[in-house]
Amino acid sequence: MNKRALKWIGGTLILLIAVVLLAPFMFKGKIQELVKQTINENVNATVNFKSVNLSLIRNFPKATISVNDLVVINHVPFEGDTLLQSEKLSLKMSLGQLFNGTDKPMELESIESLNTFLSVIITPDGIANYDVALKEDEEKEKDSTDSVSTPFSLALNHYRLDNLNITYSDLGSKMKFEVNELYHQGKGNFSENVLDLVTETKTRVSFVKEGDKLLNDVNLSLDAVIGIDMNQMKFVFKDNKALINQLPLEFEGMVQLVDDGQDYDLTFTTPDSDFKNFLGLVPEAYAGDLSGVKTSGEFKVEGVVKGKLTEQTIPTFGIHILAKNASFQYPDLPKGVTNIILDAQAVNKTGHVKDTYVNIDQCTFQIDKDVFHARASLKNLMENMYVKANFDGVINLENLSHAYPIKLSEPLSGLLKAKVNTNFDMQSVEKGRYQNIKNEGSLSLTGFNYANEAMPKPIKIQEAGLTFNTSNVTLNTFVLKTGETDVIASGRLDNLYGFLFNKQVLKGNFQVNSNNFVLADLMATGGDNPAVEETSKSSNSKEKEALKIPSFLDCTIHANAKKVIYDNLVLSNVKGNLVVKDESANLQNMSTEVFNGVLAFDGSVSTKEAIPTFDMNLGLKKVDITKTFTDIEFLKAVAPIAGVIAGKIDGDLKVRGQLDAIELTPAINTLSGDVQGTLLDTNITPQQSVLLSELDKKVSFIDLKKLDINNKRIHLVFKEGKVQFKPFDLKLNDMSVQVSGEHGFDQSMNYALDFKVPAKLLGSDVAGALTKLGGKDAEKYNAIPVRVDLSGNFKAPKVGTNMNEVVTNLTNQIIEDQTSQLLDKGKGALMDLLGGNKKTDEGDEQVSGDEAKSEATDKVVNKIEEGLQGLFGKKKTPEEKK
């Protein structure tokens, strides 16, 4: 080879390498514009992508265009919703397509997507969020203003979807379908009108209808060769293998698109008849490892689908499931399930949906010595479904976990016996036409024991018996024990089928009796389980589920319990009615013996709103004051008198407010209401209260031990964390006092005590002055107003009085009264003297009138002077007078 040839070859290689390296930069702008143009010409939505990359190395000599982080966001009426999000969308084409002019489209040979999420929503009005293609008039407008042809055209021979996740929500029919982790690829020459498409599919599907999970992560896989005839729009299954969980199926036949719908002609069957195929229908999470399971007997699924799917018709079909003489046993379990017979079919012979029916002609199985039989038929499925069913047999619940890998934290036990016949239609259930529901038979459960970590104590149902009647279901007996709690109940359920089949409320009426009912036996607190307690401490309260009164209950409970224990309260002879309805519990005519008296209560608790509320009226009949205001938690804040006042109270307590959503305990600062009552057989122990001790010390004229509050009526009102006493009067020896003011739930206080005090109790000086005043003049000082103010809080009270001012004013008043009294006496005596000459003793001479007046006046002045000196100081000696 000469040098010129080598140079030519070398130059060509260098040029090719340069093109491969530089092409992504040379054509990136063009490609990005083509992608944008394609989107804008076809989509009525907001579309964003991070970047568009071109690679000539990845699939050389092909070119690969990658659209990264593609997002499609809807316009109205789904504005803001994300329709599609894809990490990468790759388009592969020949290298020559990059050099096409703008008037010639690029032909795509392969399309691949990675990590794509598609959310499809259909409103009750039938509007779909995926309908984002430009409407016909919009397309015509585009065509009239833009002469550029479609930027891309398809010449596919391969496509692949890697991790496609689809959520399909039909809001009108309350249906949700999910396809998760879908891997699907197809290979074929799409440039031909007749081709064989080789496909591979793996995914997980779930289906929810009106809240019921009909399919839950069912594994599907299908490897199939599909013959495609694009001229006739016909698709033929040629060679395929499908798995539903672990059940193998094979398909034969075709699907063809026709003018009015689709035409089906399919048959399918299990390739073998091993009973292990039946277990393969059960999701692996529930069936466990089937590799070592021993099975016997036959199991077969076969079906035919034939006819057109149009707006008026469906294809006719017949699906038959048959198992006979079958059994299975897991290698690590002691018991097996034997004598399994299953004969069921779903059929439609007319192509009309309403004519579809399902028959379970026989369903039988045996575990150990217990045999259970069931038969059922369902007709008119889409309009007014008619159900006829029969159940007859015995199941030992303990054997279930011995024969099947049920995942339970604790084993079940108990014997279930059923012998029930039922016939009903759904319209009668929905409209409460119980006369059309025909039931007979019985159902019983004995020796049922169950426990798990979420339950504080194991539950033991010693006996439960139901009788099925035409109009209702009778609960003949129900005997339960858990911890120290025992319950015996009987009654009836009026619409069990409405609850089971139509999500109606469960109506009932029950009589419930108990000798001992401990609420803690039914409510997990974690106190007896260190692991639970530690978990509770470390978890955020917001993560705990709020307690709710079930919305599906509409029942009346007539309760009679000899003893109920709630926290630290012990209630005796609890009687009354509990009506549960609309997420509320209403207590009616309830009464109990508690606190050495009787407590009657009516009211309600509602959990319908996000924040639960309650409203209660309590009647107190001779209940112990100390226990009442100690053991009822919120009353400690309302009236902190426990340990200070002993005795009883008759009265009424009204309280309403909010409840903690987790524990259903009162939220103190939301409470409002009032307490009215009469105090009986009371005595006070001041030394038990810092407040009363301080009051006794600071105010000398009172002795609280002698305070008499028997038969005293009190009334206090509480709201927004404040408690206000309506003014009331008390007697204390010869004194009266009016109490008024308020305190807070935080124990802060602001009270006024307005005393009427006899002046003699206001100190020895005042008492002595009153003694000298004497007579009726002293009586007006028997009710001197004295004010005592209480502030601070109950543990650190502040006592203030106006005593100094009262004593000063009182002393001045007494002095004025005494002075006035003496002057009045002196003035009287002076008038007597001024009335004429004073007679001397017999035999003495009479003095003149003027002399008598002068002498009398001097004597009166001297008397007044001596009196005042005697009142305010000692008398002067004759020497001092001089």
Nearest by Cα to 667 from 617, 631, 628, 614 = 614
Alpha-carbon distance of 289 to 283, in angstroms, equals 11
Q: Give the residue-averaged pLDDT of 458-471.
A: 89
Q: Which of the two residues, 151 and 636, has the higher pLDDT score?
A: 636
Note the pLDDT tens digit of each residue in 430-442. 787 877 888 899 9
In a domain, 139, yes or no: yes
Q: Where are the alpha helices (DSSP H) in 699-848?
A: 764-773, 803-834
Alpha-carbon distance of 263 to 255, in angstroms, equals 6
In a domain, 567, yes or no: no
Alpha-carbon distance of 11 to 853, in angstroms, equals 163
pTM for the structure as a whole: 0.64
* pLDDT higher than 90, residue 822: no
DSSP SS3 for 85: strand
Q: Out of 156, 173, 190, pick the residue that ends a domain.
A: 173
Angle, CA of 192, 193 and 194, to the nearest 5° = 90
Alpha-carbon distance of 42 to 35, in angstroms, equals 11
Q: Out of 135, 151, 173, pick the residue that ends a domain.
A: 173
> Can you give the pLDDT at residue 266?
94
Percent of the chain residues past pLDDT 70, beyond the cut: 78
Note the pLDDT tens digit of each residue in 241-278. 888 887 888 889 999 999 888 999 999 998 887 888 78
> Can you give the pLDDT at residue 322?
93
User: Is residue 203 packed enough to be buried (19+ CB in 10 Å), middle (13-18) or exposed (0-12)?
Assistant: buried
Half-sphere CA count of 677, side-chain side, radius 13 A: 24
93 contacts 106 by C-beta, under 8 angstroms: yes
Read off φ and ψ for residue 99, nearest 5 degrees.
-95, 5
Sign of the torsion formed by the C-alpha atoms of 505, 506, 508 and 514: negative
> Can you give the pLDDT at residue 372?
96
> Can you give the pLDDT at residue 10?
44
Residue 224: beta bridge partners? Answer: 199, 240
471 contacts 420 by C-beta, under 8 angstroms: no
> Can you give the pLDDT at residue 531?
36
Note the pLDDT tens digit of each residue in 832-859. 555 544 444 444 445 454 555 455 445 5
302 contacts 320 by C-beta, under 8 angstroms: yes
> Can you give the pLDDT at residue 727?
87
DSSP 877: P
Most confident range, picked from 485-494, 630-639, 762-771: 485-494
* pLDDT higher than 80, residue 52: no
In a domain, 433, yes or no: yes
378 contacts 361 by C-beta, under 8 angstroms: no
Q: CB within 8 A of 498, min separation 6: which ones?
A: 429, 430, 432, 504, 505, 506
* Domain enclosing residue 861, as ranges: 815-839+847-881
Q: CB within 8 A of 819, min separation 6: which ones?
A: 868
Integer distance in angstroms from the first to the last C-alpha of the chain? 167
In a domain, 543, yes or no: no
In a domain, 161, yes or no: yes
494 contacts 508 by C-beta, under 8 angstroms: yes
Q: Out of 128, 157, 173, pick the residue that ends a domain.
A: 173
Q: Give the residue-averaged pLDDT of 355-366.
A: 94
Q: Give the residue-averaged pLDDT of 585-592.
A: 93
Amino acid at 782: N
Sign of the torsion formed by the C-alpha atoms of 406, 409, 410 and 412: negative
Note the pLDDT tens digit of each residue in 512-561. 999 998 887 876 544 444 333 443 444 444 455 667 888 888 999 999 99
- What does the CA dihedral 585, 589, 594, 598 come to, rounded to 10 degrees? 160
Note the pLDDT tens digit of each residue in 687-735. 888 888 888 888 888 877 777 788 888 898 999 889 998 888 888 777 8
* pLDDT higher than 70, residue 479: yes
Q: Give me 500's structure tokens.
A: 């089971």
**Structure-token match 């509409």, residue found:** 554
Tell me which long-range contacts 523-529 makes (C-beta under 8 A, separation of at least 24).
Answer: 523/456, 524/454, 524/455, 524/456, 525/456, 528/456, 529/453
Banded model confidence at residue 28, pLDDT cuts 50, 70, 90 = low
77 contacts 83 by C-beta, under 8 angstroms: no
* pLDDT higher than 50, residue 881: no
Alpha-carbon distance of 149 to 463, in angstroms, equals 80
Banded model confidence at residue 362, pLDDT cuts 50, 70, 90 = very high
> Can you give the pLDDT at residue 439?
86
> Can you give the pLDDT at residue 30?
53
DSSP SS3 for 811: helix
Alpha-carbon distance of 523 to 454, in angstroms, equals 9
Q: Give me 7's structure tokens.
A: 């140079």
Alpha-carbon distance of 6 to 9, in angstroms, equals 5
> Can you give the pLDDT at residue 534?
41
- Chain center to CA of 692: 45
Note the pLDDT tens digit of each residue in 314-336. 999 999 999 999 999 998 899 99
> Can you give the pLDDT at residue 106?
58
Q: CB within 8 A of 301, min separation 6: which ones?
A: 247, 249, 268, 269, 270, 277, 319, 320, 321
661 contacts 611 by C-beta, under 8 angstroms: yes
> Can you give the pLDDT at residue 864?
42
In a domain, 132, yes or no: yes
* pLDDT higher than 80, residue 568: no
> Can you give the pLDDT at residue 692?
85
Angle, CA of 814, 816 and 819, to the nearest 5° = 110
> Can you give the pLDDT at residue 321?
93
* pLDDT higher than 80, residue 786: yes
* pLDDT higher than 70, residue 643: no
β-pairing verdict for 247-258 and 234-244: antiparallel
Q: Give me 848's structure tokens.
A: 């003149």
* pLDDT higher than 90, residue 604: yes
* pLDDT higher than 70, residue 24: no
765 contacts 811 by C-beta, under 8 angstroms: yes
> Can you give the pLDDT at residue 367?
94
In a domain, 62, yes or no: yes
- Name the average pLDDT for the chain: 80
Half-sphere CA count of 117, side-chain side, radius 13 A: 7
Banded model confidence at residue 576, pLDDT cuts 50, 70, 90 = very high
Note the pLDDT tens digit of each residue in 488-505. 999 998 877 778 777 788
Read off φ and ψ for residue 353, nearest 5 degrees.
-55, -40
> Considering its fold, how many domains does the chain have in total?
3
How far apart, in Å, are the Cα atoms of 680 and each of 594, 644, 712, 714, 724?
A: 17, 14, 8, 12, 22
Banded model confidence at residue 23, pLDDT cuts 50, 70, 90 = very low
Tell me which long-range contacts 126-131 makes (C-beta under 8 A, separation of at least 24).
Answer: 126/172, 127/77, 129/74, 129/78, 129/81, 129/83, 130/83
Q: Where are the alpha helices (DSSP H) in 568-686?
A: 625-631, 633-638
In a domain, 614, yes or no: no
Banded model confidence at residue 419, pLDDT cuts 50, 70, 90 = very high
Alpha-carbon distance of 66 to 59, in angstroms, equals 12
